[in-house]
């Protein structure tokens, strides 16, 4: 047999020659030389169609032989397959011309047929992961920036093959598959994922976000694609356990904290769905006061409610005005605050105020590690956000007798760090440009110094005159 060529000009002829010979190690070196040559942009841009056609024929022959052998005694064939995929991968780097050329020749179909075979044998054959990884990478390079290739890959692999590859017990295989999925996804395809027959693929991505957070591609898929589709978020949420919902909410929180725009970082329909979910499930938190939340599942439900509240606080802090226009959300939040506050005052329990910042007494610290730490404070924060420059909501809180309730929470509480500050913030938003609310506060009977200390921080003072209380601005030099 002739010596293995190293000159790129001779490589194409050598690749074609492989088709007429029995597989041998020299063939592997020929393919490696081709792979190496394709790293050079000038060579990559000048490769003739016939060279890629020969490569496809080699890949097709390997596919047929592997399937016929059932994967037995095929180490060399697997190595040759991996090298064909590497050559295919390199040929597509920054080369729309080669992407289109490989697609026209039929590389997508042959590559996917090989990946299906390799996946089937991933658990039982040595040497399978190398070609499996390379094949997935080659599809990723084929798809980058090329919409037609994306559509072909999606049509031939969605959802079954992608889901199968995400379930392979090999981190690199999962990572490369996630990369391909991210590359192919767009708004329309995210909607496809929301359909019942496809939802398992979306749920698998979310599972990977929870179990393998180091896989950046799955997090990008969830934040950049899943959260843009209200239908997908709703259907995933309905199919998830409480533990899985927490992962989704954690990703939304991360998305909100990293959003620098003036909106809330997620579409209005998604935000409204989360608000509705909070309203439906918030009563679960009350079970903590009686100790009835004993099972892990109930506790997870409670944690989900708490996480939903945190997300709503963040969203409404980002000027999500559409949530201000959801009157039921405000009513639910005020009523829940009433219940939590009343339960906390009725007896010593998880919702009771505490002053144990430095105490080492075990009894004083009974609830120091409670899941509802800051829960009341965040309810008040949400009320304040919903009332910001919103007269209707300001009036609604007054009608629900929420203003005295918030004033009653201006005291320091170690179970609710910053509750006095959030109460001050909420009262400020309730009083701003609202004469009736100001008059209500001025007419309240004095109930303790904390109330007036809080008002003073807002720039107001309360004076008693002729048996009535008047609310007046604090002089700047006072």
Q: What confidence tens digit (pLDDT) does each residue in 145-180 have?
A: 999 999 999 999 999 999 999 999 999 999 999 999
Q: Tell me, yes or no, whether 394 lies in a domain.
A: no
pTM of the model: 0.88
- Whole-angstrom distance, CA of residue 78 vs CA of residue 57: 16
Nearest C-alpha neighbor of 259 from the set 302, 346, 306, 320: 320
- 269-282: per-residue pLDDT in tens? 999 999 999 999 99
Reduced to 3 states (helix: H, G, I; strand: E, B; else coil), residue 277 is: helix
Q: Tell me, yes or no, whether 116 lies in a domain.
A: yes
Task: Give me the mean pLDDT over the 186-195 stretch.
Answer: 96
Task: Give me the mean pLDDT over the 184-201 stretch.
Answer: 97
- Whole-angstrom distance, CA of residue 325 vs CA of residue 478: 39
Q: Which residues form the domain of 88?
A: 1-184
Nearest C-alpha neighbor of 185 from the set 248, 216, 140, 215: 140
CA 113, distance to chain mean position in Å, is 31
Q: Tell me, yes or no, whether 265 lies in a domain.
A: no
Q: Tell me, yes or no, whether 108 lies in a domain.
A: yes
- 415-446: per-residue pLDDT in tens? 999 999 999 999 999 999 999 998 898 887 55
Reduced to 3 states (helix: H, G, I; strand: E, B; else coil), residue 241 is: coil
Q: Tell me, yes or no, whether 160 lies in a domain.
A: yes
Instruction: Please list the residues that pair with 460 across neighbouring strands.
Output: 473
Q: Tell me, yes or no, whether 231 lies in a domain.
A: no
Query: How many structural domains are present in the chain?
Result: 1
- Whole-angstrom distance, CA of residue 443 vs CA of residue 384: 21
Secondary-structure percent of the chain, ordered helix, strand, coil, rounded to 5: 70, 5, 30
pLDDT of residue 446: 53
Q: Tell me, yes or no, whether 46 lies in a domain.
A: yes
Cβ neighbour number for residue 134 with a 10 Å cutoff: 23
What dihedral angle (degrees, nearest 10) is formed by the CA atoms of 61, 62, 64, 67?
180
Nearest C-alpha neighbor of 318 from the set 417, 252, 377, 402: 252
Q: Tell me, yes or no, whether 38 lies in a domain.
A: yes
Tokens of 50: 């016939």
pLDDT of residue 5: 47
Mean pLDDT of the chain: 88
pLDDT exceeds 90 at position 208: yes
CATH number of the domain within which 17 lies: 1.25.10.10
């Amino acid at each position: 047999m002739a010596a293995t060529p190293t000159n790129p000009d001779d490589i194409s002829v050598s690749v074609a020659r492989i088709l007429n010979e029995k597989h041998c190690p020299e063939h592997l070196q020929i393919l490696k030389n081709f792979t190496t040559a394709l790293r050079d942009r000038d060579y990559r841009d000048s490769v003739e169609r016939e060279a890629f056609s020969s490569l496809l024929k080699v890949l097709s022959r390997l596919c047929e032989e592997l399937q016929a052998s059932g994967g037995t005694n095929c180490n060399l064939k697997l190595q040759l397959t991996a090298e064909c995929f590497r050559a295919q991968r390199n040929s597509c780097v920054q080369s729309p011309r080669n992407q289109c050329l490989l697609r026209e020749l039929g590389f997508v179909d042959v590559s996917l047929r090989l990946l299906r075979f390799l996946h089937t044998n991933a658990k039982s054959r040595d040497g399978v992961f190398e070609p499996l990884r390379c094949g997935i990478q080659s599809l990723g390079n084929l798809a980058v920036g090329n919409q037609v290739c994306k559509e072909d890959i999606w049509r031939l692999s969605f959802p079954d093959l992608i889901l199968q590859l995400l379930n392979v017990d090999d981190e690199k295989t999962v990572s490369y598959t996630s990369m391909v999925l991210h590359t192919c996804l767009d708004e329309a395809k995210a909607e496809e994922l929301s359909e019942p027959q496809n939802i398992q693929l979306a749920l698998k991505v979310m599972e990977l976000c929870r179990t393998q957070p180091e896989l950046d591609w799955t997090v990008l898929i969830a934040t950049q694609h899943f959260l843009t589709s209200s239908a997908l978020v709703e259907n995933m949420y309905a199919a998830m356990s409480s533990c899985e919902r927490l992962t989704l909410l954690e990703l939304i929180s991360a998305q909100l904290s990293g959003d620098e725009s003036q909106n809330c970082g997620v579409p209005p329909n998604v935000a409204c769905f989360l608000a509705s979910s909070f309203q439906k499930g918030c009563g679960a938190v009350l079970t903590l006061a009686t100790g009835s939340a004993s099972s892990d599942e109930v506790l997870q439900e409670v944690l989900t409610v708490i996480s939903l509240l945190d997300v709503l606080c963040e969203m409404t802090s980002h000027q999500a005005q559409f949530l201000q226009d959801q009157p039921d959300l405000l009513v639910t939040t005020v009523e829940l605050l009433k219940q939590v506050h009343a339960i906390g005052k009725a007896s010593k329990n998880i919702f009771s105020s505490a002053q144990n910042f430095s105490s080492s007494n075990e009894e004083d610290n009974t609830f120091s590690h409670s899941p509802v730490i800051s829960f009341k404070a965040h309810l008040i924060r949400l009320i304040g956000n919903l009332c910001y420059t919103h007269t209707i909501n300001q009036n609604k809180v007054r009608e629900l007798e929420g203003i005295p309730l918030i004033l009653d929470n201006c005291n320091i509480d170690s179970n609710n760090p910053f509750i006095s500050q959030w109460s001050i913030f909420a009262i400020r938003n309730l009083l701003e440009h609202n004469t009736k609310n100001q008059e209500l506060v001025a007419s309240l009977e004095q109930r303790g110094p904390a109330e007036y200390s809080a008002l003073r921080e807002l720039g107001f003072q309360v004076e008693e005159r002729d048996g009535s209380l008047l609310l007046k601005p604090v002089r700047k030099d006072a």
